[in-house]
């Protein structure tokens, strides 16, 4: 069923608020458990990830990486006689977003037997959700077992003087724009900032990246941020560290933006992108009706149940619980939350032991992430600093990826680095980071090692094929053994 507002009242086992990747996966699992389910969506089924985040951003970045890869291999490089075809890149991006239409994903919801309810959903006391459709009609949904909030996050734009006059880009515009601005200022040196600086510079903008801190990607190993800064600079991006925007102006509405910086200088750009973090989409979902603070991130237990709400009927999965703002972690939470709801509905207890079937343990210990820049960054688990802050007794092992035979075949003059952080007391890895071209596809090996707590002695038996970039695993082990 695909319905708008019809002023009716309906009862379901589970109501899911938000049909992004996390919401969709909860619906899938509760349906697999034989429960009835309504999923409420105010925009597009598929969420931010499908239309304004992961998919369009990676569709913009993949041609950049493919071209760089071809240019870095003697023999192939000679065949590359032109640059990116911007119109073709944008058209391919549009294909990945289905031109911002969600028919395919709505059909998928139908296929799993959940009811899609289009409109803005708000909690209205325990187990009740009122959905207001765009036509003004409203429907009240009641849940027998659970309501799951999966409303995601939105970009934060800092309240700088003049910001309202410049119509800044957020990640939504940066992933869906149809024109290439001649000059783009990007504020923020996190993942969105570096990925979008990479994409738009390659598409023809002159990008200035304004970073208030002293490094890019301050959540990963410092060498990774340094290599990305090097790559951006070589691509022509003006990377400025230790600067902040203090004021913005776009005097005639349609002309360039003037950005005043805290060193007193000014910068002119045709567009400005704020890539300055996320806020939860919980300000208008009726949290106050169940005793929670509107606009807050939702604190959850290991089964993603909102601990502060009595009777255990409210859950929160995906970005909105602030555990790990990544699609794959949201989907992971959603799978085990959906299963936990099914188990509880059947009157049984979920398995909430660490690494149990219904505990999102990997959110703490084994979150993988790939940053799709040139070079790429791929990391899982703890950085050396985070491990030290946790009081672990560790040894940090580094290896120059460029001296791995497979890497030198992969690209001429391959530049990259790998690090593993070994927990000496448990003899296993707690963190691995790779930075270099093509390392994203290497990451799952590290995720298996970290999540599986594979003893270092056993890793020697996981033999990497020669001559692949993966042989860095052998080199790391040899370096560790000394
Ligand atoms: C530019 C960018 C690139 C990214 N790239 C990656 C990447 O490569 N890999 C990765 O893992 N992560 C990436 N992320 C992060 C990823 O997009 C999020 O972690 C993911 O989308 C979160 O999924 P979600 O289901 O929690 O929320 P969302 O995808 O935000 O979906 C929430 C849904 O809820 C709906 N909704 C909200 N409020 C209501 C309401 N009141 N009623 C009804 N519906 C409502 C929204 O319309 C939306 O459809 C990226 C993020 C950005 C900004
Ligand atoms: N490839 C991927 O996996 C991918 C890609 C994009 C985004 N994401 C996820 O989306 C989330 C959001 O990404 P993001 O880059 O927006 O956030 P972020 O938190 O990763 O980075 C934001 C950066 O902006 C800076 N900042 C914050 N306020 C500022 C201000 N007022 N002025 C100047 N700088 C300021 C912060 O210091 C930080 O470095 C992240 O959690 C990220 O993991 C993932």
Q: What is the ipTM of this complex?
A: 0.98
C-alpha 69/C-alpha 77 separation (Å) is: 9
The token duo for 369 is 């992430």
C-alpha 355/C-alpha 365 separation (Å) is: 10
pLDDT at 399: 98
Residue range 425-456, pLDDT digits in tens: 999 999 999 999 999 999 999 999 999 999 99
Ligand 1: lining residues by beta carbon, under 6 Å: 17-23, 40-43, 47-49, 53-54, 57-58, 120-121, 150-153, 171, 175, 192, 281, 285, 318-320, 325-328, 330
Taking CA atoms only, the protein residue closest to ligand 2 atom 39 is 190
The token duo for 113 is 């037997």
Taking CA atoms only, the protein residue closest to ligand 2 atom 38 is 190
Q: Is there a cis peptide before residue 310, judged by omega within 30 degrees of 0?
A: no
**Cβ(278) to ligand 2 under 6 A?**
yes
Strands 153-155 and 278-280: antiparallel
The token duo for 481 is 């053994």
421 CA from centroid of ligand 2 (Å): 24
Please give the domain boundaries of the chain with CATH numbers for all domains: 2-46+102-154+280-362 (3.50.50.60), 163-276 (3.50.50.60), 375-481 (3.30.390.30)
| Distance, first Cα to last Cα, the chain | 63
Bridge partners of 139, per DSSP, are: 131
171 CA from centroid of ligand 1 (Å): 11
C-alpha 127/C-alpha 14 separation (Å) is: 9
Bridge partners of 429, per DSSP, are: 422
Q: Is there a cis peptide before residue 467, judged by omega within 30 degrees of 0?
A: yes
Ligand nearest to the CA of 274: 2
Are 285 and 267 spatial neighbours (Cβ–Cβ below 8 Å)?
A: no
Alpha carbon of 364 to those of 170, 331, 380, 426: distances in Å? 28, 15, 11, 17
pLDDT at 5: 47
Query: Which residues of the chain fall below pLDDT 70?
Result: 1-9
* Other beta carbons less than 10 A from residue 135's beta carbon: 11
Ligand nearest to the CA of 246: 2
pLDDT at 8: 60
Ligand 2 atom closest to the CA of 194, numbered from 1: 15
Ligand nearest to the CA of 276: 2
291 CA from centroid of ligand 1 (Å): 25
- pTM of this prediction? 0.97
pLDDT at 9: 66
pLDDT at 460: 98
Ligand nearest to the CA of 333: 1
40 CA from centroid of ligand 1 (Å): 14
Q: Which helix (H) or strand (E) holds 60?
A: helix 54-71
Q: Which residue has the tokens 């200022």?
A: 185
Ligand 2 atom closest to the CA of 325, numbered from 1: 41
Are 22 and 334 spatial neighbours (Cβ–Cβ below 8 Å)?
A: yes
- Read off the DSSP letter of residue 305: B
Ligand nearest to the CA of 53: 1
Test site for ligand 1: of 3, 47, 139, 440, most ligand atoms within 8 A of the Cβ: 47
Per DSSP, the residues of 378-403 read EEEE--HHHHHHTT--EEEEEEEGGG
Q: Which helix (H) or strand (E) holds 111?
A: helix 103-111
Taking CA atoms only, the protein residue closest to ligand 2 atom 16 is 277
The token duo for 201 is 């510079």
- For 277, half-sphere exposure in the C-beta direction (CA atoms, 13 angstrom radius) is 7
Ligand nearest to the CA of 191: 2
Q: Length of the chain in residues, anyone?
A: 482
Ligand 1 atom closest to the CA of 154, numbered from 1: 30
Taking CA atoms only, the protein residue closest to ligand 1 atom 12 is 326
Least Cα distance to 120 among 109, 128, 131, 105 occurs for 131
pLDDT at 3: 47
21 CA from centroid of ligand 2 (Å): 20
Taking CA atoms only, the protein residue closest to ligand 2 atom 30 is 276
pLDDT at 4: 45
pLDDT at 390: 97
Test site for ligand 1: of 15, 18, 22, 122, most ligand atoms within 8 A of the Cβ: 18
Taking CA atoms only, the protein residue closest to ligand 1 atom 6 is 54
The token duo for 215 is 């490094």
Residue range 131-161, pLDDT digits in tens: 999 888 999 999 999 999 999 999 999 999 9
pLDDT at 254: 80
The token duo for 326 is 């990544």
295 CA from centroid of ligand 2 (Å): 19
325 CA from centroid of ligand 2 (Å): 10
**Cβ(240) to ligand 2 under 6 A?**
no
**Cβ(370) to ligand 2 under 6 A?**
yes
pLDDT at 340: 98
Ligand nearest to the CA of 24: 1
Test site for ligand 1: of 54, 61, 175, most ligand atoms within 8 A of the Cβ: 54
319 CA from centroid of ligand 1 (Å): 7
110 CA from centroid of ligand 2 (Å): 34
């Amino acid at each position: 069923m695909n319905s708008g507002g019809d002023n009716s009242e309906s009862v379901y086992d589970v109501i899911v608020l938000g049909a992004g990747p996390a919401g969709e996966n909860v619906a899938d699992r509760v349906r697999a458990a034989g429960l009835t389910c309504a999923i409420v969506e105010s925009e597009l089924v598929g969420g931010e990830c499908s239309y304004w985040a992961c998919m369009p951003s990676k569709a913009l970045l993949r041609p950049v990486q493919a071209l760089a890869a071809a240019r870095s291999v003697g023999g192939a490089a000679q065949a590359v006689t032109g640059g990116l075809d911007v119109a073709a890149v944008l058209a391919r991006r549009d294909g990945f977003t289905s031109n911002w239409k969600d028919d395919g994903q709505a059909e998928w919801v139908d296929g799993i037997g959940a009811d899609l309810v289009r409109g803005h959903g708000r909690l209205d006391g325990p187990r009740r959700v009122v959905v207001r459709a765009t036509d003004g009609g409203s429907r009240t949904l009641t849940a027998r077992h659970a309501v799951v909030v999966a409303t995601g996050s939105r970009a934060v734009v800092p309240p700088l003087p003049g910001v309202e006059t410049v119509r800044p880009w957020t990640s939504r515009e940066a992933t869906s724009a149809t024109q290439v601005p001649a000059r783009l200022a990007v504020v923020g040196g996190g993942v969105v900032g570096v990925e979008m600086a990479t994409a738009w510079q390659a598409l023809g903008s002159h990008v200035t990246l304004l970073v208030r801190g002293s490094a890019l990607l301050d959540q990963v190993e410092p060498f990774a941020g340094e290599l990305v800064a090097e790559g951006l600079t070589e691509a022509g991006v003006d990377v400025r560290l230790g600067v902040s925007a203090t004021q913005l102006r776009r005097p005639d509405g349609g002309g360039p933006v003037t950005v005043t910086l805290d060193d007193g200088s000014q910068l002119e750009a045709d567009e400005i992108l704020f890539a300055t973090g996320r806020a939860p989409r919980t300000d208008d979902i009726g949290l106050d009706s169940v005793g929670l603070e509107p606009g807050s991130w939702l604190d959850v237990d290991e089964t993603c149940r909102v601990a502060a709400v009595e009777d255990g009927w409210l859950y929160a999965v995906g970005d909105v619980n602030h555990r790990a703002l990544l699609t794959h972690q949201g989907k992971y939470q959603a799978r085990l939350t959906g299963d936990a709801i099914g188990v509880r509905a059947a009157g049984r207890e979920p398995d909430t032991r660490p690494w149990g079937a219904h505990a999102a343990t990997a959110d703490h210990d084994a979150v993988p992430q790939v940053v799709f820049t040139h070079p790429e960054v791929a990391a899982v688990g703890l950085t050396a600093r985070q491990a030290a802050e946790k009081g672990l007794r560790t040894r940090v092992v580094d290896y120059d990826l460029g001296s791995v035979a497979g890497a030198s075949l992969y690209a001429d003059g391959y530049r990259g680095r790998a690090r593993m952080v070994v927990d000496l007391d448990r003899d296993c890895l707690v963190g691995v980071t790779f930075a270099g071209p093509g390392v994203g596809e290497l990451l799952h090996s590290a995720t298996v090692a970290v999540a599986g707590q594979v003893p270092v002695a056993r890793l020697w038996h996981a033999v990497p094929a020669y001559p692949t970039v993966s042989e860095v695993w052998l080199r790391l082990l040899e370096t560790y053994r000394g």
